[in-house]
Structure 1
Amino acid sequence: MNEEKLAVLELFLAADIGAVRFFKLLEVFGNAKNTVTASAQELMSVYGIGEKTALAVSSRKFAAMAENEIKNADKNNIKIVFYDDADYPENLKNIPDKPVVLYIKGDYIPQDFNAAAIVGSRRASAYGKNVTEEFAACFAQNNLTVISGLARGVDSYAHKAALENNGRTIAVLGNGLLVNYPPENKKLQDKIPESGAVISEFALNVQPNPGTFPRRNRIVAALSKAVLVTEAVLASGALITAKLAAQYGKDVFAVPGSIYSNLSKGTNMLLENGAFIALNPWHVTSQITGTPIYNSVSQKDAPKLTSGERKVLEFLENIQEGAHTETIAQKLNITIAQTAAILFQLEMKDLVKAAPGQIYIKVR
């Protein structure tokens, strides 16, 4: 590791200052090496850098710690990836608070760019467990990497279902990679790198605390093409992840639940506020991947179509914005009643989807 990388790690360990202040320091001093050799007074001249941080950085006490961190990572087959490395995840590069350093055990590969997060309650009900496993299995079977946070409940069910279906999964931790949290997930944490990766922005031995989980959630959201919330209370980390995903321009899906269940109040609120409704795994998978996916019964044999259904699909093929029921009827010279019946059947087969105003769009 060159001197500049070592200085980045030293600065990272000396003061967990976040990406914004880190890059501000680099802007002022030119690089990390110049930053760690600056005086406390010089460091404090930078907006946002207080005396405590300045003294920690200028003390150079963390230089030896940085070298030990590298040795410890190598010993445990953990890669340390820096923000400017070629193998830094592409999905993280453009968020304003991208991690300066990532610790990765396992492999983050180009296929993982095509990923969806599944998040939810730590105390999932049987319903939450079942739907989480169904969605994760479908994602895995259709080459969507499943991303979650290795927490109890929904996160664990999602990771396990992905592995059981020979898929890839990525766990993003709110602690260092040499810490097992929750402790009962140690075997799962050890298993995931065989078919994915365990990732953290925290130094190897950092313990979890209430402040580390929201930071973890932003990485989950940023790494994913879409976020699915299967079950969540109103005040939950899953809703933080969903909010961050929306801010990053990602699609948010939610599984509806009983209006009497606290565990569904979070997902029902997301739906009320405009999240996509997640009624079946293959439809959600189709929407995320842009490729029609059929359920396990029909996967080998796509739905049989009547001649009328084929004509409607052919008509909609080149109309990206969809067409109104009356327009379809007029162009195909059939009645509106016949058109409505055909569109209903195609919608049930997940081949078209309805948009507001009786507009129908072919699922692609």
Structure 2
Amino acid sequence: MTTSDLYYVLALQRVEGVGDIMAKKLISQCGSAEAVFKTKTQHLAAIDGVGNSLLKNLKDETVFDKANKELEFIQNNNINVAYFQDDNYPDKLKHCFDAPVLLFTTGNINLKNRKIISIVGTRQITSYGTEFCKKLIEDLIPINPVIVSGFAYGVDIVAHQLAMENNLQTIGVLAHGLNQIYPKNHKKYMAKMETNGGFMTEFWSSTNPDKENFVKRNRIVAGIAEATIVIESAERGGSLITANMANDYNRDVFAVPGRTTDKYSTGCNNLIKTQKANVLTSAADLIYMLNWDIKEETKAVQKQLFVSLDSDEQKIYDYLLKTGKELMDIIALECEFPIYRISALLLNMELKGVIRPLPGKLFEAI
């Protein structure tokens, strides 16, 4: 979008009574944000939801001073802007009716043709949650997904750190403007995140990390991704709000099960029990449910002639050739691998195109 277009969109955002939904409606009806301010009152009044109060507010010229000030901040700080009608706006977020009109970003974010997952959870992450998250992200490396989270304490920052450690693009969705960082203790991660990923927010530079902004932020986390994963959660918490939003957007939701006695597994267990989330026990579950395992373009000839298997993978492949379809647990037992190891091996073999998953956690050689 041009600087002039951005200026008028910013001004429209500052009109009292104009939220994301109304802004999109006005822009759609009038043709552009600039046109909204230049459209005659009687035409504006004919738009559904536009009343006398909003008509009066659209005449408030102070919004242009505010827009100009924010525009200066954007230009002086090399902020990237994604407009909801432009190609650089996240594809999946475009389909969310209440998605932000504008997104402000820093860093090197590239979401085109990328697999995107959001990882959320408690700020009081346990060793169980940390180890699961570590294993999950490591096993997803061949998929090269973008890892999105909220840059908060606990699960969020662990997910971001693990993504960076494994050279995966990661994005922190913020609940405030880009003139600050919250929590301040996480400032040390900013530079590294911005080299392969970065930060995203809908909030202007003047916006502080107020409580209500975190709930608004969560809809971006839920809407931008193909799936939302809840690693750990107490009975109540922001991650459960994100999971519910993801369900509302018709996204896949996954939750890591835990012991019924564990406080920070209660939320996950409840999501699973109420069928608001799929059980997630490994990266293979995620890949299967999202159909990321379907790689028809990888021809069988390539699989057999050009794929190199290590000794453990070859052992599994030979076993499946002999037995045909088999359960993952049985493969682990017969090939003498621990279950956590078999998940990674099967995932790698699936990505190499030598086996395929079947319903019911069955696998067969190709």
Deviation of the 1:7 alpha carbon: 1.1
TM-score, reference length from structure 2: 0.78
Q: 1:310 aligns with which of 293, 297, 321?
A: 321
Q: 1:204 to 1:345 in 2, by over 3 A?
A: farther
User: Secondary structure of the residue that 1:258 maps to in structure 2?
Assistant: coil
Aligned counterpart, 2:108:
107
Q: 1:283 to 1:45 in 2, by over 3 A?
A: closer
Aligned counterpart, 1:331:
none
TM-score, reference length from structure 1: 0.79
Deviation of the 1:132 alpha carbon: 2.5
Question: 1:290 touches 1:363 (CA, 8 Å); kept in 2?
Answer: no
Question: 1:118 touches 1:147 (CA, 8 Å); kept in 2?
Answer: yes
Q: 1:49 to 1:208 in 2, by over 3 A?
A: farther
User: Secondary structure of the residue that 2:58 maps to in structure 1?
Assistant: helix
Deviation of the 1:204 alpha carbon: 1.9
Question: 2:30 touches 2:36 (CA, 8 Å); kept in 1?
Answer: yes
Aligned counterpart, 2:135:
134
Aligned counterpart, 1:189:
190
CA distance in 1, matches of 2:177, 2:93: 19
Contiguous gaps of at least 5 residues in structure 2: 295-308, 347-355
> Identity over aligned residues, as a percent?
28
Aligned counterpart, 1:276:
278
Return the letter of the residue paired with 1:18. G
Question: 2:150 touches 2:156 (CA, 8 Å); kept in 1?
Answer: yes
Verify: 1:290 aligned to 2:292, yes or no.
yes
Deviation of the 1:49 alpha carbon: 4.6
Question: 2:172 touches 2:199 (CA, 8 Å); kept in 1?
Answer: yes
Aligned counterpart, 1:332:
none
Question: 2:190 touches 2:198 (CA, 8 Å); kept in 1?
Answer: no
Deviation of the 1:103 alpha carbon: 0.1
| Coordinate RMSD, CA, aligned | 3.4
Deviation of the 1:43 alpha carbon: 5.6
**Structure 2 counterparts to residues 102-251 of structure 1, below 5 A:** 102-110=103-111, 113-140=114-141, 142-251=143-252
CA distance in 2, matches of 1:109, 1:5: 21
CA distance in 1, matches of 2:291, 2:63: 45
Deviation of the 1:6 alpha carbon: 1.9
User: Secondary structure of the residue that 1:150 maps to in structure 2?
Assistant: coil
Question: 2:118 touches 2:148 (CA, 8 Å); kept in 1?
Answer: yes
**Structure 2 counterparts to residues 41-120 of structure 1, below 5 A:** 46-49=47-50, 53-110=54-111, 113-120=114-121
Deviation of the 1:211 alpha carbon: 2.2
Q: 1:27 to 1:291 in 2, by over 3 A?
A: closer
Question: 1:138 touches 1:285 (CA, 8 Å); kept in 2?
Answer: no
User: What per-residue deviation string (whole Å, max 9, x for no partner) do you get for residues 150-180 of structure 1?
Assistant: 1111101110111112211011111112121
User: Secondary structure of the residue that 2:215 maps to in structure 1?
Assistant: helix
Deviation of the 1:250 alpha carbon: 2.2
Deviation of the 1:307 alpha carbon: 4.8
Return the letter of the residue paired with 2:254. F
User: Secondary structure of the residue that 2:144 maps to in structure 1?
Assistant: coil
